[in-house]
Every structure is written in structure tokens, then in C-alpha cells.
Amino acid sequence: MGASGNLLTAAEQYGRIMIAGGVIQVLSCGLAPILRNENRQVGAMTIMVLGFLFNLTMDFVLLYFFHLGIGGAALASLGAQLLTTALCFLTLFGVTDRLRARLGLPGSAGTSLCPLHREQFVFEKDCWKRIFSIGISPFGISLTPSLLILYHNIACLNYGDLAVSAYALISSTIGSYRILLIGVAEGMQPLASKAYGASQNGNATPAERIAAYDEIRHIRNKAIRTAIAASVLLFLFTIATASFYPALYGYQGDAAAAGYHAVMLTAAQLIFTGIVRVTNSFFYAVGKNRYSLFMIYFDPLCLTPAALAVLPHFFGTDGIWLTAVITQFLLNLVAAGMFVRHNAQMKREQAALTKGV
């Protein structure tokens, strides 16, 4: 990644601590979606916010009072994730519900749909197979940003420190905005999964299953509209505020000019990113794992590496900044074809059910 000297030393120190707490990080990231799928969206959000605030507080304490440096920042992050994990487990085991009921606090009636018990922690081969087949898609969604950052950093190393610093500015700004678009997709996923389950319920009446197909279509369309609106707004916001980013992150002189130019060129990727994120989550939510896997893994394994190998030869560093714009646009075309094909399939299945009404 091009790090050396003090930067490399700090990165190694931070990395060792975070790797040592890897299990905590996995649990922290994995338990929140379980809460969301148990109709505890507010609880999951509250726990995440508490973890965030605890992280900020511990950063201040460990860095300014104990002077632990980058190691303190890593410990603060692990501490916040440990708190998040503990609160998620307490909620899943029903402890928080019983505590609220005992204290007479509101919300105690919202008990877990399926509270965990120790007896449930047993190995079931068939269940693990299903988890793996479904989980490989969200795993790719989480892995892809890291791979793309790695590819872009390697490409930037060929053009020197200015290019590396410019991409760092992109990652800190546009990279953060993309997380909001992931939030749209993740919010849609449980709803689409529930509607898909209802459409495949053999015990339901044909009319109920037909209504479930309509619900899938409604959720999909609403998510697409929301993603497009959010994408365009984020793009416009980036263009309007890009001139402030270099100074905000301490860039000066040539580094500031290079960073501003890079952000302006690559900002258009935001227009297309929302649809890609919704497509990824929607298709694994409705059992179309092959569609989802193609969308998720084709970009980091084929599309982006090919673009980074070709575009810089013609456009220099501008080719690096335009890579994400072009790849996201191409993925939008693929997504459109997938949505058309899936919609036609749903119509055929609905028509077959209509004959039984």
C-alpha cells in the first residue's frame, strides 16, 4: 500500500491490536443484522449509536489522558465493539426486555420474536449450508470496498505520492458517502426477504402469494427510487462542497489541487452506486443468489482490475479517478437487465397462481 517509516509503524501497531480482537469485530458486525431481522430496527440502531459514542469517548480518554497514541485508538474501537456485542447478546437473550419490565419502562412488551436459548447453540449441518449459500453475498458486499481500495492504491503508487494522497481524499469523502447508499440497500433487504418468504409459502392461499409478489415489486421500486434520489443528492452535495475537502483534511499546494481534481472527476460514481447496492441486496434477499453473486464479485475480480489496467495508459491518473465511474455505470446496465428478467419471471409465477384463484 506504499506505507513506510512512522506511518508503517503506526499501521502495524493498530493492525496487531485490531487483528487480536477480530472475533469481537465479527460478532459486533454480525449481531446487529439479526436484531434488524427480528423487527428490532430501533434497538439495533440504538446499540450502534451507543457504540459510536463510547468509541468517541474512549478515543478522547485514551489519547489525551493516557497518551496511548494509535494503540489507544485501536483499543477504543475494540472496546466499543465489545460493548455493542454485549448489548446485542443481552437483547437477543431477552435480558433487556425483562429489565425494562421490572423497572416499568416503556417498550418491555416488544419481546424478541425468537429469543435465544443455550439449547439453540448446536451444530446443524443443513442450516450451516444454507447460511453459507446466502451469506456469501453479503460477505462479498463487505469485502469489495477493501479490495477496490487496494487496487486503486496499487495503481496510484505508479504515479507517486500526489496520486496516493489524492485517492486518500476520495476514500475519506466519497467513500464515506457510499456507506449511506449501503444503508438504503440494507434497510430494504429484510423487507424484501419477508415478502419473498410469503410468496414462497406453500401453506398460503394463491391470493396471498400473489399479494406477496406485488409487495416484492413495491419494495423493489421504492428502494430503487430512494437509491436514485440519495445518489443524485450525494453527487450534487459532493460537487458543491468539494472545494472545502482539501483544507478540511490538511491538504496544501499541489496535494490540494490534485485532491480536488480527483474528487471532482470521480464524484459521478455516486450517481450509479445506489442502484448497484440495491441490486446486490435485493437479489440475495429474494433467493436469486446467482444474480447477486455476479453483481458483487464481477466488479472486484474482473471489471475494476481490467479498467485500472487499461484506463491509466490512456488518461494517466485521470484514468484511475474515472475507473469507478465507468465500472458503476456498466454495472447499472447489467442491473437493469437483471431487474427486467426477474420481473418477467415474477409475472409468470403470478399468472400461474392466478389460475388457482
**For the segment 245-265, what is each residue's pLDDT rounded down to a tens digit?**
999 888 999 999 999 999 999
Q: How crowded is residue 239: how many other Cβ atoms within 10 Å of its Cβ?
A: 14
Q: Which residues contact 105 (CB under 8 A, 6 or more apart)?
A: none
The pTM of the full predicted model, rounded to 2 decimals, is 0.80
Delimit the domains of the chain by residue range. 1-122, 132-357
Q: Report pLDDT for 108.
A: 44
> Per residue of the chain (357 residues), what is the pLDDT tens digit?
556 667 678 888 989 999 999 999 989 888 888 887 777 878 888 999 999 999 999 999 998 899 888 899 999 999 999 999 999 998 888 777 677 677 776 654 444 555 676 777 777 788 888 888 878 888 888 889 889 999 999 999 999 989 999 999 999 899 888 888 888 898 898 899 999 999 999 889 999 999 999 999 999 999 999 999 999 999 999 999 999 999 988 899 999 999 999 999 999 999 999 999 999 999 989 989 899 999 999 999 999 999 999 999 999 999 999 999 999 999 999 999 999 999 999 999 999 988 866
List pLDDT tens digits, range 63-72: 889 988 889 9
Q: Report pLDDT for 106.
A: 62
- Which residue, 169, 143, 172, 168, is CA-closest to 153? 168
Q: How far is CA 77 from the centre of its chain?
A: 18
Burial 154-180 (b: 16+ CB within 10 A, else e): ebbeebeebbbbbbbbbeebbeebbeb
Residue 103 C-alpha cell reads as: 423497572
